[in-house]
Structures are given as C-alpha cells and as structure tokens.
Structure 1
C-alpha cells in the first residue's frame, strides 16, 4: 500500500468512527418524552451578596458539587448525551456497540422532577446553615417551554453567625485546666463563622489535645453540640460542655507501665522466645539470636514506661517502626488495666523481612516521528537490596541499568545506549554530620527561623540519612557521549501521609562529554551550545538540593491535587568565596580545577521547577487529568551558562507528545535538517512552560481510551543566544500545541500506553504556508503526520 492510500485509509477510518457515533447519538430527544415530561435544559444558582462577599462566593462555587438537577452534558458541545440513552433503552436486545455507547457516551436523561427539585433546595438550605447562616432561605422557580425545563434557585443567606468567645464547661477541673491553657488554639476565635466545619475541627482538636495528655479513653462523643449565647448580638459567645464518662465523675489519665517488644515475631510459630533483655524500661523477647540492634528499635519508640499516654507518640511509633526496612508492618496491642490505678501495657510485635531482595525489570519503548524515523528502545535493570546491612535496619541497594535505542530506518547512524551502576545507603538514625541542620535552626529571619523548631524536631526524630553514589556512560548515536559520577548526602523525611521532603546538604556531580563524528555537522557554529557542552563540576558543599512532594487524597468530589517542587544550587559557595576574594584582593580564587590534562569548570546556577497535577473522577470509568509545569535554570554570574545536562527539554512520551524528545524549541527555532540526517534531536532551553490535559475513559475489558492536548515550549535566557530562541514578552506565539488520542491497556500492576499525537500549532511559522497552524484541514490527520508514542504508565 502506498503512502497516499494509507493516509486516506486512516482518515476514512477516523471519519467512519466519528460518523457512527454521530448516527448513534443523533435525533431529537423530544419524541421520546411523554405528555407532561420535560428535560432539564438549564440550572442557575444565584446567591444574594456573593458578588461582594468572598466567603459567600466560595460557598456558591461549592454548591455545584451538591446533587441537584442539571442538564445533560453534550458530545462535541452540541449533541446531548441523553439521546443515545433514549434510543438504546427502547430496544428489546442491545448489541455490544450499544453497550459501548451507553458506557462511554450516554447519560441518563435529567427529567423535570418536582420532588428532586424541592429536595435540592432543601439540601442547599441545610448546606448554608452548616456554614453559619442559620436562617438561610432557598426558593426556586421552574419555567417550561416545549418540553424544556429551566430551573433557577435563589439563595437568601441572611445573617452569618460569628463567634465572640468560647467557654468550656465541665466539672473535671484537670480537663478544664488543659482546655483553658490551649484556648488560643481554638477554631472559634472572634469573628470566625459558627459553622459545622469549624465545630468538627474543634472537636478533633480537643480530642487530640486530651488524648495527648494521658486521657486514653477520651472520645469526641463526650463533647456537646455548640451552645449559643445571646443571638441578638453581632458576635455570639459560645460554649462546649465536656461530659464525664459515666458512672465515673471525671476522666482518667493512663500511665504506661510495661513495654514488651518481640523483634522476630512469627504469627505461625509457637516456639516461646529464648532470649530476653531489658533496656531503658523496654523488654525485648527474641526467639533466635538477635539480628538487629535493640538501640535502633528503642530510638523509634517514642514512649517510655512511666509516661502518660500520648496518641501522637503512639501513632509516630507505628509509623517509624513500619518505615524500618528490616520489619514488615508492626502491630501494637494495648492492654488497659484499672486494677490499683490506670495503666497501659504495650506488646509490640515486629515481623522481620527477608534480608535480601532482588528486582529485575525489562522495558520496551517505541516511537514513530511522523514519516521521518522510528525508534525502538529496550532497557534492562537489576538491583540487589540488603535490608539490614549493618544490623540497624540500614538499607543498601546496588543497582545496574543498561539501555539501548536504535533508529529502525537507518542503523548506520549508530545506536543510543546508556550504562549505569549505583549504590544507595539509607539509615533510619539521623545524624547531623555537617551541622547544617542545627545551624539553619538557629538562623533567624525576622521573627522566623530558617528551619522551624517543629521541622527540626521532625528531622531529628523521623529523618533518614541517605548517601547515594552512581556512575555511568551514555552515548547518543554518533552525536556525543558522556561519562558521569554523582555523589550526595542528605536526609529524607515523610512528614505526613501526604508530604515528603528530600534535602541534599552535600552533592558533587562530575560530567565529562565527548564529541563524536556527527557533532560538528549537527551543531555547526552554535557557539553557545559548545560552551554548555564542556566538562563541568556541579557542587553543593553547604546546600545542594531540596525536593518537596505533596500527594493529596481524593476528596468527596473525586478531586485530588499533587505537587512536585525541586530547588537546586550549584557553585554558590564558589561564588561566595570568589566575591569575598575579589573584594579583598581584587582577584577571583576559584573558577576551575585541573584534573590531569583536563580543565574542569565549576557550574554556578540555581534551578527551580514546579509540577502541579489535578485529577477529577466523574465516575469510575471517566476521569479528567491536568498538569502544569514551570521550570527555570538561571546562571549565578554573567560569565557562566547552564550545563547542557541541567537544561530543560520538551517533547516525548511524558511531555508534548506530538514532538519527539528534545525536538521542540528552543523558542521558534526549527532544525530543518534533523529529519534528513535521521538522528536524535538535542534541543534544550533554560526555561520550560507546559500544560497538559487528558480525558480518560474505559472502553472494554482492560482497554482504556483517552483524548489529550499538550501546550508548551522551552526557551533560552542567555543574552548571547539566538534571538529567536530567547524568552520574550510575546512568548505565547511560540507555544506549541499538540493533540491526539490514546489507547491504554491497564493490567493493574502496569499500564501499557499508546499515544497518537498530531501537531496542531508549531512554535514557528511554516516557510511554505507562513502560518503557525500545522493542522489546517482534515487531510492533515493522516498517518504520515502522526507521532506514535509507546510507554509504560500514565503520562501524569
């Protein structure tokens, strides 16, 4: 089959599928309605005062998530989804195609239902009352025209009840003393709304406060509902009463009496422990010779005999013991005893992991760049993990990786390959070897510490030391190759279930590139790129890198957020030394070092990137995924530039998918010869902006579908860069746009992804059409204009 018929075949297939869907979903919905029935075609919600009050405006936005009659959504913005539902429901027998349409394109019709309309008004009214508008009133009106119903809800919030002061009432003097001592932490400060949300937060605060003060058996049900004072005042005094645990008259504090630890527990083994020792009030019971230091266990238990019960210490102990690589999930049994007092006995069961674990992984990748080239890749990785290397639950991972990628149409251009070997040692016992964490805790900026007391305490108690070393070599066809050696020291901290920090206090990276036969032909007279492509030493002796990750949990509306931020410095200490030296003597001390015959320059820059993601699940089978990315690498002096390996790049299976990896940018640059040479692209930039949106839906069995759009580019900021590649005020003209569809095979343990992308808008004007728009007609949807990406896992 020739290229032209092949292109026409794919275009015809796409049009045929679209036509089938249109035929299936088209025809008027009115003919399916009975007498007196109407379809909801519009729903409007107005809240009095929302245009002036930010609090009311937020409540109005949240109301959209409260169930209420709303119009059916549409396919292609003009075909209501309920039409196909009506048509298929009239059939006696449904086909597989019908079920496919029902599952992915149809919606149950939203008919005018007086009961549901009235129920929604009641839900709106109750919602406002829970937010502090106790006298809120909701009215509605329904207008019907030709079987079309339009509903308008009108919310009159009336007065917002706000707190003046909070009073605690209880006959338990000790409890009252604790609550009054922490009154300033209350959620009912003067001016705060008297809402259900604030009440629930206050109940959680009180419960946590008292359980951290020894009250093991205190629960939220002992807290009364909010009691209001004089409601005629602008701000209202409120009170909460703490009930006693009947038949007792006061709540009791519990003291920890015994702590027994079973470090080699096996639930299937009935053999009694053979070894026993007691240290610092903790008794250890071993069935066999101890394989782990008891001091390491002790340092991760945050309570001692004689202490009052503390819920946070209990939870932190479970979390820290569970993070030790030598153990599986810990189990703590609590035994209250009220004989002669109020005591707690703890039994801590720790089940050991296997000492060694081996992991082997194979990955394939394939990408087709329009009609230019096809790339086939294969990666093999193997790692060996020792979970208790020094007897203190230290984890050592030795890993090896090898990969190769080849251009299928021209094997003579050479292959791309990489080899890497590395070691990663993690110790669960924090030590501030450089003293930088303690120093940061003592440095004040105004009224704030550079490292807060709470954060510093979390690092000391829950931080893990990490040392990482890796080295390798990579070659990119006949363009270039490079060797690298990286070493770093820092800490990692899981501060909460959703927040993770990785802080590299010390880091050294050596990068040594070498030009190959095609290098001059490709780069030509690009002097800036040649300067970036030199041997570099990337250093951080006081601080190297900070990585922060937030993974939010889905809320009740199926929405979740995640953020990944990274801040990296290199050579800032060198810059400080040179600045001081130049100030004193007029000379710079250090700019480069000699290693044999080589001269290696210090890289001096600051690099920051932010990756934000949002997911919305409309149903188990339909989801929306959004991602925004912004990154910048800035030299710390006018005489330096960003090393090539630290620049940003666009394109690829995890970026703007219509462009091959490193094909896009910088700015409006176009390499007209890259396709002819049939080699990999090398473009990069100092700035990267990107936005991606993807709508995912189930098809059949393990097959999922997706439609997506990608927008973005990379730019240079160096003054000696080509003007067309530099970021300017009209950068939006150079935003590339790609769109397409994807097929994903979701096998739970992994996802195989095929994405078919088209260039919609290029960052430069096409010399032939003098237009930025690459997608100008349906004929541009041919196979030859498509970029095919294959990868493992979702793109974001």
Structure 2
C-alpha cells in the first residue's frame, strides 16, 4: 500500500510539471510576470575585488522572480491551482508544500534599483558611477536589463587623526598602528565602520566605560588630485561628545553577594573583606577565599568588559548558581577619572535534589525491559562549590520474539556510583590555574556494577577514577584522568558460557585480565550546535593507556608474573578518532556525516584488549542494518547466528563511516535517509575467529547498510526510529557480499533483512 501511495504521489507531481507550462492563462489582465533581471558591468580598467562588488550588486536586483524546474514554473502553477475557487485536496496540498506567490512586474521599481546600485558603488569607493535600465515586455512576461558603468575607484593615501590634549586622543593615535586601513586601499564604507568598531572595543578594554563608536567620525578629502583619484582620511571625535564618554573608568569597590535574594536587605547582612573585596552574605554559604579565585576584576583596576564577561563565565561554571549578574554603578568623581562600583549578585540553585527516572529500554538485539535510575545531588557540600552526585540504577531486560530458545535470555543489572566534583584543581602541590574562560574541575569517582546475564554468567566490577575536566573555550573540551582503575570479576558461569570461552581463548583471556590501571584523555572540538552555521564540525580524540605503571611495579617487585596484588592486569594502548561534518542546507535540512576510527594495541602480557575495552559494531548508533555486536571481526561469522545468540563479536580495531540526510515532514516529525558502513578487526590472529585479523584489504570486509528513519524532535529531546537493511554482508564469499533481493512481500525476507532500531537522540 505504501508503494502504491508513493507511485500515486509521484504521478501527480509529474502531471503537475507537465501542466505547469500553462501558467500564462492565470496571469491577470494588465499584469506581466517578472522573469528576472540581467546585470552588465562596464569598466575602463581592471579593478581588484570586482567579483565581490558584482556579487553585492546582484543582491540588489529585487525582487527574486519565481523559480523554475526544467524551465517550467511548477511552484507558481501549484499556487494558481491551489488558490482557485474549490481547489480540491490535492491542489491545496501541493500549494502548501511547493506553491509560490506570483511575482509581477508591477512589484519591480527599476529606477529605485538604479539608485541603490549607484549608492552601493559610492560606498565602495566608485564615485561618479552610473546605472541604466531597460525593460523588455514580451507577451505576458517582462524582464529588466541593468547596465552599470563603474568609474575608477578612489584609493587611500593616509589616515590622519585630529588630535587634542585629551588622553583618549593619545590612545587612538597609538591604536592606529594596527589599523586595517592600508595606504593604497580602495575607499570602503564597511571597512570604515569596522575600524570604528575596532577602536571602540579597544578603548573599552582600556577603561573607557561610556565610550561609543558613534562618537567617532571619518571625513574623506578627495581634492588631492583631479586625475589620480586619491583621498585622504581624517579621523576625529564628533563635537559635543559627553565628557563621561571620553574618560577612562576604574573600579573603586567590589561587592559580592554569594547568597543573593531579592527579599534580603543588604544592609543587614554580614560583610567579610577578602582581597579588597566585600563578600556580603547572611547565612555563610561560600568561603570568600575560594570564591575570590573565580573573580578576575580587581579594585583600582580599569574597567575591562572582557574580564567582566570572563568573571561571569567562571562563576557560572561552578555549577552552584542559576543566575550570575555583574552590574556596574557610576560613582561621583572629582578628578579626571571615572569611578565604578561593581556588584556581583549570585543566586544559588537548590542545595539538594533527588531525581528518579523510570525508563523503558529497547535494544536492537531484541532485549527490552524496565530500568530505574535514582540521582541524588548535594551542591556546595563544603561551602566551596563542591558537588556530590550519588547514583543508583536497577534494570531488568528480557529477550522478546525469541521463539523456542528464549530460556535464560534475560539480564539483571544493578549499579551504584558516587562522584565528588571540586570546581578547582586539586593536586599534591598547589596549582594556580591560568584558564580565564572557565575553571578546571577535579572529579573523584567510584562505582560498582553487578550484571547477571541469566543462565550464562555473572559479572561484578568496581571502578575508580581521579581526574580533571574543563572547557578551554565555547567549542573545546578537555578531560584527563591520570588515575583510572577497574576490577572485573567474572563468576558463576554456565557450562554453555564456559564452552564459549573454551572455544575462544582470546575471549577467555580478555575476561581473565580483570585489573585495569591506566590513564586516559578526551578532547572534543564541537561546532555542530549552531543551526545558523552552514558547515558544522566535530573532532573527538580519545587516548587510553593501561598497565605500564603496574608492569613497572611488577618488575621492581621481582615477580614479573603479570599480576598485581594477586590480580592479573591488562596492558594496552588505545586511540579513538571521531570526525563529523554537518552541511546545513537550510534551517531544516541537514546532511550529516561521520567517520570513526579506533585502534587498540594489546602488548606485554595481553593478547587482546580487555572485554570491556573492546570495540563492537552494529546497533542504533553504529551500522544500523545489523544488530548490536553482530558484525565481525573481519569476515568471521558464528556457527549459531540468530537474535538469540551470545554476541561476542568484538575486536581491537574499529572503522566506521555514516551519512544521513535529515529533512522535515510535518511539525515535530522529521525524516531521514541514511547509509552506514563499518566493521571491527583483531590485531592478532585468533584461530577461534577465522578471518578476524586486520589486513591491508580491510576495506573489502566492510558491512554496509541503508535505511529510513523517523524522528520526533521535541526541541531538546529526540525520539528516533530507524528501519534498515543490509546492502553488503562481510561474512559471505567475496563475490557474493554485495546485493539484496529486496523482497519486501516475503515474510522470511523481512525477518532476516529488516532491522528496527529505537533510540533517544541523533546517532551523530
């Protein structure tokens, strides 16, 4: 039925294209349909940057005519048909989707456009240019041809600053050493405005609190030469500039309200003076010594908007305040300086919070079930902005649609965790942080997890970490954990799972190495979130090294048996690279791409990565045409391969690429077409996993899938449904890997080739 509906819609659209050439009969009497304008530019000599000027002039040719598809006015035809009396459902639908209002010649004003062209040329230094237009009417259509004669542009000889005895004049003269108005450059009003803005910003950085770029004026003298078309530029302050606008200001008083409320009377609060700042608070909520570290402005310092903005950013980054407001108040002054009082109002968040989340989990390997998350948060624990997070998780999953082999296919999970975050650097020796954008935070964490995979095994793990994270700017994020520990204990295994381990020594070895001690680093550079940016980028880098320090201690102890405190430890190095590019065609359409490459190198007493550190492919955020953990390694395929299988298909290397076209459908509902490719491989040969080792012909072993998706996009929350099918299956014989019968009518084909994914959020 869906196929028939699509064919019917396509037929209607094709019919609309054929009939769209008949728009002439809809044009009202006395009107001419506007076909657009042509622009001819004449110059007497070669002019540098003429292409940019021509592009600007093209933008002035308004209005835009109705668009064409293959030479026909499809959108205009849809409008005419959809606005006639009793248009019918199909015509109304086409008008809503592709209809365009007609653009008639009566809406065009050629003489006004001529004036705009001449004005724009004068703003770019082409004085005494002229523009003409010629209107051509043919039948019921009209078009305009503009001819522009561009004169020789005026070029700059020098910039002169009219000076006085004021301090601000000396400041401006000093700034002109970095001016972008170079001798020999063409007169350009945009450059003059940009120069005024630059001077204004620099003066404010030097304390001129009340200065405004409107106080500056440029005057051009073109009477230097009658033949060479040169001009001299004079920069001066306008007359009657307010006295407060041309004097620098310094900060005399800084008041900080760490527990601000509009209901409190500031005169009745206690004041603590620290570092020449007044910390005013009723109930003692924040230690002045610690809060002072976030404040970059100082007494007797000149006003600086950058330091003010960074101070607000740093205070907000503590994570304890919902509102941060820095205000300046002018004080009476009897000298040549202005004086300011700075007041910092900090409104704290609720100190304690408890959040419960009841989740319904559905995975692409047919596991589903409920989960409960509990999150307790205590802010400002030690009156220094510290945050304590306690988390608890309980989840139960069972495999649906498992047929006769459902027995034992369920899992139960418990987890407890605690994080203590300090909004500053905690190290063995005092460190004075130098980050002005935001303050690095120290994180100490410990967690314990219990997983019972019904009928197969039980897995217990304890993890601890100590590290730092910070934002270098609004795009760059860093996280480093110098200490990262994990202890994994596999217990109560079933004979079935023991057989799986015995058949795969590498997998067994990855579970035996149950102690992981290392260091890891994460870097993200994200420019994807700005929808007004045509090109969005993301770079993610992850480094993870384990076992080196423990191995050194093992050797020093003289044992060198691959164990530490009786626990077998893992040695490996691992690097991840995540590259993403989004082309935002417009505000609603995006082409999103991703390339991921991960490489793990086991060494020393390790032949493979620990199981919890291995890569896998397939699933809702990977190659969506294959179930999670069901691809690879390489061309390997398990003997028992169905949704009820235990998927141990993981590896030391992962390469993956994705492309997705996202488009709107109606309201909050959006659609997508996508294609994914990827696989995982092993670094070392494994007899239990034939074809799994990485080779130079890895590209011929990629799994490829494609599909369609629906997204319910509720602003900050996205529910995603994806339906995909394999196009290339790596475990088949090399000449048979490509191809798919696409027998949608066959129930067995649908069962084997259609994979449904449900997830929260976009995949990349």
TM-score tier, shorter chain, comes to 0.7 to 0.9
| In the alignment, structure 1 residue 378 sits paired with structure 2 residue 370 | yes
Counterpart check, 1:349 vs 2:370: no
Alignment counterpart, residue 271 of structure 2, candidates 276, 284, 298: 276
Distance change >3 Å, CA 111–CA 255, structure 1 → 2: closer
1:665 maps onto 2:632 in alignment: yes
1:29-44 residue pairs with structure 2 within 5 A? 29-34=20-25
Taking the aligned partners of 2:413 and 2:489, their CA distance within structure 1 comes to 13
State yes or no: 1:426 paired with 2:395: no
Q: CA deviation at 1:697?
A: 0.8
Correspondence for 1:614: 582
Give the deviation of 1:90 after TM superposition: 3.0
Counterpart contact for 2:251–2:339, Cα < 8 Å:
yes
Kept in 1: contact 2:624–2:705 (CA 8 A): no
Matched, 1:567 2:542: yes
1-structure distance, mates of 2:147, 2:244: 50
Within-5 A mapping of 1:115-264:
170-171=163-164, 174-179=167-172, 186-187=179-180, 202-224=195-217, 241=236, 243=238, 246-248=241-243, 251-264=246-259
Query: What does residue 90 of structure 1 align with?
Result: 84
Matched, 1:396 2:406: no
- TM-fit CA distance, 1:335: 1.1
The question of 1:315 aligning with 2:309 is answered: yes
Aligned partner of 1:485 in structure 2 is: 462
State the partner residue of 1:706: 671
From 744, 755, 764, the counterpart of 1:787 = 755
TM-score normalized by structure 1? Answer: 0.76
Secondary structure of 1:363's counterpart equals: strand
1:13 paired to 2:2: yes
Per the TM alignment, residue 789 of structure 1 is displaced from its structure 2 partner at its CA by 1.6
Q: Which residue of 528, 535, 540 maps to 2:513?
A: 535
Per the alignment, residue 6 of structure 1 pairs with: none
Deviation at 1:200, TM superposition (A): 5.9
Q: Pick closer, same or farther for the CA change 1:428–1:354 going to 2, 3 Å.
A: same
Given candidates 595, 601, 607, the residue that maps to 1:635 is 601
- What's the counterpart of residue 469 of structure 1? 446
- Taking the aligned partners of 1:81 and 1:367, their CA distance within structure 2 comes to 43
Aligned pair 1:303/2:297, yes or no?
A: yes
Shift in CA distance, 381/90, structure 1 to aligned 2, threshold 3 Å: same
Cα distance change of structure 1 residues 768 and 655 upon mapping to structure 2, 3 Å threshold: closer
The whole-number CA distance in structure 2 between the counterparts of 1:607 and 1:122 is: 61
For 2:401, the equivalent position in structure 1 comes to 409
Q: In structure 2, do the counterparts of structure 1 residues 203 and 400 end up closer, same or farther at CA, with 3 Å as the change threshold?
A: farther
2:290 aligns to what SS in structure 1?
Answer: helix
Distance 2:185 2:264 in 1: 57
Rate the CA distance shift 1:154–1:720 in 2: closer, same or farther, 3 A: farther
Distance 2:421 2:700 in 1: 45
Equivalent residue number for residue 773 of structure 1? 739
| 2:590 equivalent in structure 1 | 624
In 1, Cα distance between equivalents of 2:485 and 2:240: 62
Q: Secondary structure of the equivalent of 1:618?
A: coil
Q: Which has the higher contact order (CA 8 A, sep 6+)?
A: 1
Task: Assess, with a 3 A threshold, how the Cα gap between structure 1 residues 690 and 236 changes in structure 2: closer, same or farther.
Answer: farther
Residues 712-731 of structure 1: pairs in structure 2 closer than 5 A:
712-716=677-681, 718-720=683-685, 722-723=690-691, 726=694, 728=696, 731=699
Supply the distance in 2 between the matched residues of 1:725 and 1:234 (Cα, whole angstroms): 73
Q: 1:276-325 CA distances to partner (integer Å, 9 max, x unpaired)?
A: 33333222333x33122122232222222211111111112222222333
- 2:644 counterpart of 1:648: no
**Alpha carbons 1:738, 1:758 under 8 Å: kept:** yes
Aligned to 1:507: 483
Alpha-carbon distance, 1:196 to partner: 6.9
Q: 1:677 to 1:490 in 2, by over 3 A?
A: closer
Q: Which runs of 5+ in 1 are unaligned?
A: 1-11, 439-455, 582-586
Question: Using a 3 Å threshold, how does the CA distance of structure 1 residues 343 and 379 change in structure 2: closer, same or farther?
Answer: same
Give the Å deviation of 1:413.
3.6
What's the CA shift for 1:107?
4.0
Distance 1:681 1:224, change over 3 A: farther
- Using the TM superposition, give the Cα deviation of residue 766 of structure 1 relative to its aligned residue in structure 2, in angstroms: 4.9
Are the counterparts in 1 of residues 23 and 76 from structure 2 also a CA contact under 8 Å? no
Secondary structure, counterpart of 2:273 in structure 1? strand
Partners of 2:672 and 2:666 lie apart in 1 by 13
Q: Shift of the alpha carbon at 1:71?
A: 7.6
Change in CA separation of 1:727 and 1:302 when aligned onto 2, cut-off 3 Å: same
For the residues of structure 1 that align with 2:9 and 2:423, how far apart are their CA atoms?
60
Q: Secondary structure at the match of 1:206?
A: helix
Shift of 1:488: 2.8
Q: CA deviation at 1:153?
A: 11
Moved more, 22-31 or 718-727: 718-727
Distance of 1:523 and 1:41 partners within structure 2: 74
Question: How far apart, CA to CA, are the structure 2 residues paired with 1:773 and 1:461?
Answer: 52
* TM-score, structure 2 as length reference: 0.79
Of the three residues 324, 328, 332, the one matched with 2:322 is 328
Any idea what the Cα deviations from partners look like across 1:3-61, whole Å, max 9, x if unmatched?
A: xxxxxxxxx3343244245436633211233388999999999999xxxx999999999
- Match in the other structure for 2:571: 602
1:745 to 712, 718, 724: 712
Q: Tell me the equivalent position of 1:734.
A: 702
Q: C-alpha root-mean-square deviation of aligned residues, in Å?
A: 5.2
Q: 1:606 to 1:199 in 2, by over 3 A?
A: farther
Aligned residues: 739
